[in-house]
Structure 1
Amino acid sequence: MPSLSIRSATGRARQWSITTVALYAVLIVIALVQLFPLYWLLTFSLKNNQQIFSSHPLSFPFQPRWENYEKVWNVGNIGTYFLNSVWITVVATVVTLLIASFATYAITRMNWKGSKLVLGVIMVAMMIPVHSTLIPLYSMFNAVNLIDNPFSILLSYIAFNLPITVLIMLGFYYTIPREIEEAAIMDGSSVNRLVLTIIFPMTGSVVATTGIVNMIYNWNEFIFVNTFISSNELKTLTVGVQNFIGQYTTDWGAIGATLMISILPILLAFLFLSDQIVEGLAAGSIKG
């Protein structure tokens, strides 16, 4: 009997190890597939037009042209576009998270007439195609002199990101025990203090999740900036890349360097916030 138990345990351990190796092998393959576009873009950004069209697409250049990055930053005005993208993304994301947090708290934690109607309007707003609003938005911003003004971009980003932000936050807010609020009220806490010092600190994971979602959209958005902004000094990185596309020639290496610069902030943000993002998505998917 003892020998049989030892053999079965050994068999289970061997089977577990084989399963683990197979799982890690699959994960490594998936990781390589995910990293492939980054490698290709890096090699693309370190070549000139002749190398891009004459060499193998996956080959790393023998003489990397790091000057492509210097060219796009100094000559191509990418530094200005990069700073515009940073401050517009940060401001729009922060304002959206604040408004969405207050709105979600009011909808899920407070009893008032019209809460279901407001939630319904927010959900209906998610069904509106972005491109169908370009002409009405342009007419409205033109009437109030906001064309070629960064406020038109900020207002558009906030308005279109609010519905999805509230939707992600809803599930998390429903899981917060009401006993916490009741205890705070019994201790003499005001509603404002309750929200700012107790509720908001508890929502860090879902805020990180919605924050990265907003950052990705705001950073990569093209159509609003291309429609509402005409001044070169107000353009963002996604629109500024068009400077290297000419009528008769296109600097593909410079375009690759610009794209490589544009994805770095999002990659860094995701790396630092990955744990909070997973936690927020898991918590927000359960309604308690």
Structure 2
Amino acid sequence: MSSTTVNLGGEAKSGTRIGMKIGYAVLYIVLIAVAVFQIYPLIWLMFFSLKNNQEVFNLSPFALPSPPHWENYSKVWNAGNIDTYFLNSVWITVAATAGTIVLGSLVTFAITRMKWKLSSLVLGLFMVAMMIPVHSTLIPLFSMFNKVHLIDNPLSLILSYVAFNMPITIMILLGFYYALPKEVEEAAVIDGAGIHTVFFRIVFPMTSSVLATTGIINMIYNWNEFIFVNTFISSDKFKTLTVGVQNFIGQYTTDWGAIGATLMISILPILITFLFLSDRIVEGIAAGSVKG
């Protein structure tokens, strides 16, 4: 009787292990399929950027031209003024992202750590701002910037990006700030630290993981933004990559290979940034989702 029970228990465990292995195998197959589906557009764009107009329309999407037209990249970088657009995209994105993170952190700190009557109202106003469509603000913003002489000025882009990214930044930071232990701040206050010291030397460094999450979200929006640049900027010296790609679209001909090379150049910084910050992003999302 005992030997029969042992055999049945061993068979059950063996069956469980086999079932788990099959489950993991199916899971890996699904994840690999999803990953291939996600990477497919990047591979297609890479091959697309190495072709001329005839090869774009005559060859298969995955056919690599012989030889590859690497001169597309040098052409857009030098003759297409993409180097200027690229540098504009970099410094405007960095400036707007840094401003949003600092201001968003200050607002979140004031809402979660300081006691004042209108804190709930202010938080509600920021959350309501998330429901305002970007397109509905173009005419009022253009009129306002025109009155203060900020049309065709990069400052108009930075101010717009900061304003529209503040609500989502605050929403992400709120959960993390609520989870931060207040004992550290109270100990610093007892030691004589002021409110600015508590924020900049204690709280702000403690939120580095969630700041990486908000940073990458802000960078993706700012880097890929098109509407504000196309509306507020007219000079080539201030344009960014998203608008600069239009230089290769003519009235009668379009240089598709150059467009592909420009798009590939515009994607690389975001991919590199994400690869370096991916661990911090996941950590920040997990930490910001817990309140208590």
Query: TM-score over 0.5 for the alignment?
Result: yes
What is the aligned partner in structure 1 of residue 170 from structure 2?
Answer: 166
CA distance in 2 between partners of 1:138 and 1:21 (Å): 55
User: 1:76-102: CA deviations, max 9, x gaps?
Assistant: 010110000000000000011000001
Give 5+ residue unaligned stretches, structure 1.
Answer: none
What SS class does the counterpart of residue 56 from structure 1 fall into?
coil
Query: How far 1:277 sits from its partner (Å)?
Result: 1.3
What is the aligned partner in structure 2 of residue 154 from structure 1?
Answer: 158
What SS class does the counterpart of residue 111 from structure 1 fall into?
coil
CA distance in 2 between partners of 1:107 and 1:25 (Å): 45
Task: Select 1:261's aligned residue among 240, 265, 268.
Answer: 265
CA distance in 2 between partners of 1:166 and 1:220 (Å): 21
CA distance in 2 between partners of 1:285 and 1:223 (Å): 32
Amino acid at match of 1:142: N
- The 5 A counterparts of 1:234-253 are 234-253=238-257
- The 5 A counterparts of 1:54-93 are 54-93=58-97
What is the aligned partner in structure 2 of residue 205 from structure 1?
Answer: 209
CA distance in 1 between partners of 2:133 and 2:13 (Å): 58
Give 5+ residue unaligned stretches, structure 2.
Answer: none
Amino acid at match of 1:205: S
Deviating beyond 6 angstroms after TM superposition, the runs of 4 or more aligned structure 1 residues are: none
CA distance in 1 between partners of 2:248 and 2:74 (Å): 14
Query: How far 1:274 sits from its partner (Å)?
Result: 1.1
Task: Select 1:185's aligned residue among 178, 189, 192.
Answer: 189
Query: How far 1:269 sits from its partner (Å)?
Result: 1.0
Amino acid at match of 2:15: G
Amino acid at match of 2:24: T
What is the aligned partner in structure 2 of residue 226 from structure 1?
Answer: 230
Q: After alignment, is 27-36 or 118-127 more displaced? A: 118-127
- The 5 A counterparts of 1:19-38 are 19-38=23-42
Task: Select 2:118's aligned residue among 114, 135, 138.
Answer: 114
CA distance in 1 between partners of 2:14 and 2:188 (Å): 55
What SS class does the counterpart of residue 127 from structure 1 fall into?
coil
Query: How far 1:11 sits from its partner (Å)?
Result: 2.2
Query: How far 1:185 sits from its partner (Å)?
Result: 2.0
Amino acid at match of 1:168: I
Q: Verify: 1:275 aligned to 2:279, yes or no.
A: yes
What SS class does the counterpart of residue 180 from structure 1 fall into?
helix
CA distance in 1 between partners of 2:99 and 2:39 (Å): 33
Q: After alignment, is 268-277 or 92-101 more displaced? A: 268-277
Q: After alignment, is 152-161 or 249-258 more displaced? A: 152-161
User: 1:240-277: CA deviations, max 9, x gaps?
Assistant: 00000000000000000000000011111111111111
